[in-house]
Amino acid sequence: MRLPEIEPAEDVLSGETADVYFAHTLDILKKEGLKPAATMEFFPRQAGILCGMAEVKTLLARVLTGGDYEVWALEEGDTMDTKEVALRITAPYRSYGLYETAIDGILAHCSGWATAARQCVEAARGIPVVSFGARHVHPRVAALMDYSAIIGGCTGCSSTAGARLAGIKPSGTMPHALILIMGDTVDATLSFNKHMSSDIPRISLVDTFMDEAEESLRVAEAMGDKLDSVRLDTPAELGGVTPELVKKVRTRLDTAGFSHVSIFVSGGVNPESITRFLEAGAPVDGFGIGSYISSASPIDFTADLHEVDGKPIAKRGRTPGITSNPRLKRIM
């Protein structure tokens, strides 16, 4: 995929989201007349999937000027090892020092989301996984969360903004609200089919009013060949979606001649439950993942100076000088 240009917010560019001691540092350097060139390296505290580098690159493009800089990095979506250098910046420190906080935070959160998505994708063994986590995060970061999930391997995401960043179309058809308002799952599905564009899959949510197998059959009979899939999202109060339930729905659909209708499962899905579905032989055709991705812990990133004006240097506990990593590629 072509990496997006994710413009930094004004409060990031102004430094208002930075730890204030970086602003203090720049103020002191200016007043002392110091203009050091410095090499800073960023590394994760644990292994995972790197994400956020596209946004970091756009940020650096706004603040690094004059051509006297080099930026080396792993690529978006690369695997990364614990403490592996993922990003190296060599430039006048005053041009980028204020943004250490932002760069750490971007890489930390996006990599955490991407890594959680990859865990689900690997557990699914080729079955498509879609990110449904936008409702679990602040709307200012929903697009970045969904984009990160795509970088982690999800085939789709529910938010329009996230899909736009990833260069795809958003995934999702109808919520329980539509069915509850219309009073019947079949009526809601028929109306969806009537009014939505033909490029949107016809996927009916079938757990609102009746037994999932019965509701699936009702919708399939009403829609015929136009029905692509049914989605099972049974609440925990009723036992959630189980392998047995999926098998039951599959049998009812196949027996009635609707073998073309696939089954999509959502609601509390995580790598462990995906594994249970697969090991039980449940015929799931797709998974929707919400909070497992959206609530993933950030992967802590740390930044260290390793050279100042060409002189190797480091704080105690770190090795002075540039850290070798042949996997890095020059990106700026």
pLDDT of residue 296: 98
Q: Summarize pLDDT for 14-63 with one digit per residue, the tens.
A: 999 999 999 999 999 999 999 999 999 999 999 999 999 999 999 999 99
Total count of domains within the chain: 2
pLDDT range class, residue 5, cuts 50, 70, 90: confident
Do 83 and 173 have their domain in common?
A: no
Tell me: the pLDDT tens digits for 127-140?
999 999 999 999 99
CATH of residue 170's domain is 3.20.20.70
* Integer Cα distance of 178 and 293 in angstroms: 26
Residues 60 and 176 placed together within one structural domain of the fold: no
- Tell whether 18 and 80 lie within a shared domain: yes
Q: Is the pTM of this model over 0.85?
A: yes
Indicate whether 281 and 312 sit together in one domain.
no
Radius of gyration of the chain (CA): 24
Same domain? 250 vs 225: yes
> Do 303 and 189 lie in a common domain?
no
Residue 4 lies in a domain: no
| pLDDT (tens digit per residue) in 125-183 | 999 999 999 999 999 999 999 999 999 999 999 999 999 999 999 999 999 999 999 99
Tell me, yes or no, whether 175 and 312 share the same domain.
no
In terms of domains, do 159 and 268 share one? yes
Q: What is the span of the domain harbouring residue 154?
A: 119-294
- In this prediction, residues 53-75 reach a mean pLDDT of 94
Q: With beta carbons less than 8 A apart as the criterion, state whether 309 and 317 touch.
A: no
Looking at every residue in the chain, the average pLDDT score rounds to: 96
Do 128 and 96 fall within a single domain?
A: no
The full DSSP string for 88-157 is EEEEEHHHHGGGHHHHHHHHHHHHHHHHHHHHHHHHHTTS-EEE--GGGS-HHHHHHHHHHHHHTT-SEE
Q: In angstroms, rounded to a whole number, what is the distance separating the alpha carbons of residues 159 and 288?
A: 13
214 belongs to a structural domain: yes
Whether residue 67 has pLDDT greater than 90: no
Q: Are residues 125 and 249 in the same domain?
A: yes
pLDDT at 66: 80
Q: Are residues 146 and 232 in the same domain?
A: yes
